[in-house]
DNA sequence: GAAGATTGAGCGCTCAATCTTG
DNA sequence: CAAGATTGAGCGCTCAATCTTC
């Protein structure tokens, strides 16, 4: 139960760090998927990988496109599908965001005693 | 980092359990504060105890009132203040919700090895 | 002026309904 | 008919602005 409280605290700090780049965890998540893929991805593929609903991605990409971080392009192989393509700004911003996240993550990791780390991993894995 | 994922999983299950009573974690949180207080509370007091913004409580109480679980009444000691008062339905529903939460919580607690419990508590506390 | 509550706008998420293309 | 995307409505949350009361 303190799990929810702890997660809320951690999430708030990560959001705060990303806000310095004009990003959010949701936006950074999509940008990172696109960077890792190395090519444009269909919106439905993004939804599947984020295990969320398609309409969520529609709106998220709306905002990413308004920010100039992503562009919608047609899928040559299927006219129903729409691909999300990173812009150069999007690529740069993702890298900056990842850097910010790493810093915060290191702070939290340091707060967990070495002896507790394995137990924490085990316990969290058990919740899946 | 798997912390966020685990918390999301747990939260989803708790929400699902409360949905069976037409409740949510947010609604149950406010109802529980009122039950524990044993008397009507000012909206700003609810916001303070949930450590959230006042306008959040305004809208949450709007929905609770629409559900017939809570009533807004005037504060006799301060005409700026508005008190949230439980209805009988609200009291009953909170008890039912608490029961549902206990069940789910027991399930998760059982999934954590006894040996890992102390370490988990320590680690989570360190995140505050 | 400061503290109470509310409103409007926006983010992130869900669901149900719709429209186009396969 | 099924799969792609979108729209509209709603929950839960934040912030900035407003209005009333202290």
B67-92: pLDDT as tens digits: 999 999 999 999 999 999 999 999 99
* pLDDT interval class at B18 (50, 70, 90): very high
H-type helices in B23-87, by residue range? Answer: 25-37, 43-49, 54-66
Contact (CB, 8 A) for B53 and B67: no
Contact (CB, 8 A) for A11 and A25: yes
A20 Cα to chain B: minimum distance (Å):
20
Q: Which residues are registered as beta bridge partners of A74?
A: A82
Residue B66 CA to its chain's centroid (Å): 17
> Rounded to the nearest 5°, which phi and psi values hold at B71?
-130, 140
The pTM is what?
0.94
Q: What is the DSSP letter of B51?
A: T
A59 CA, D7 C1': Å apart:
11
Span B85-106, average pLDDT: 98
Contacts of B9 in chain A (CB under 8 A): 127-128
A29-87: pLDDT as tens digits: 999 999 999 999 999 999 999 999 999 999 999 999 999 999 999 999 999 999 999 99
Span B9-22, average pLDDT: 97
Using alpha carbons only, what angle is made at residue A104 by residues A100 and A110, rounded to the nearest 5 degrees? 145
Cα(B3)–Cα(B6) distance, integer angstroms: 5
Q: What is the DSSP letter of A85?
A: E
Which nucleotide is closest to B62, CA to C1'? C6
Tell me what pLDDT residue B128 has: 81
Tell me what pLDDT residue B24 has: 98
Cα(B6)–Cα(A4) distance, integer angstroms: 9
Tell me what pLDDT residue A24 has: 98
Q: Which residues are registered as beta bridge partners of A70?
A: A86
Both tokens assigned to B94 = 């909170």
Span A18-29, average pLDDT: 98
Taking 90 as the threshold, does the pLDDT of residue A1 lie above it?
no
B24-38: pLDDT as tens digits: 999 999 999 999 999
Q: Identify the residue with better confidence: A84 or B1.
A: A84
Taking 90 as the threshold, does the pLDDT of residue B108 lie above it?
yes
């Amino acid at each position: 139960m303190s799990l929810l409280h702890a997660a809320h605290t951690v999430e708030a700090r990560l959001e705060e760090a990303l806000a310095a780049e004009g990003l959010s965890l949701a936006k950074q998540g999509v940008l990172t998927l696109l960077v890792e893929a190395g090519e444009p991805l269909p919106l439905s593929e993004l939804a599947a990988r984020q295990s969320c609903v398609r309409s969520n991605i529609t709106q998220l990409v709306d905002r990413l496109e308004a920010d100039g971080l992503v562009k919608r392009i047609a899928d040559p192989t299927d006219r129903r599908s729409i691909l999300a393509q990173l812009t150069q700004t999007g690529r740069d911003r993702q890298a900056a965001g990842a850097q910010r996240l790493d810093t915060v993550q290191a702070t939290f990791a340091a707060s967990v005693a070495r002896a507790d780390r394995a137990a924490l991993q085990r316990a969290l894995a058990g919740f899946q």
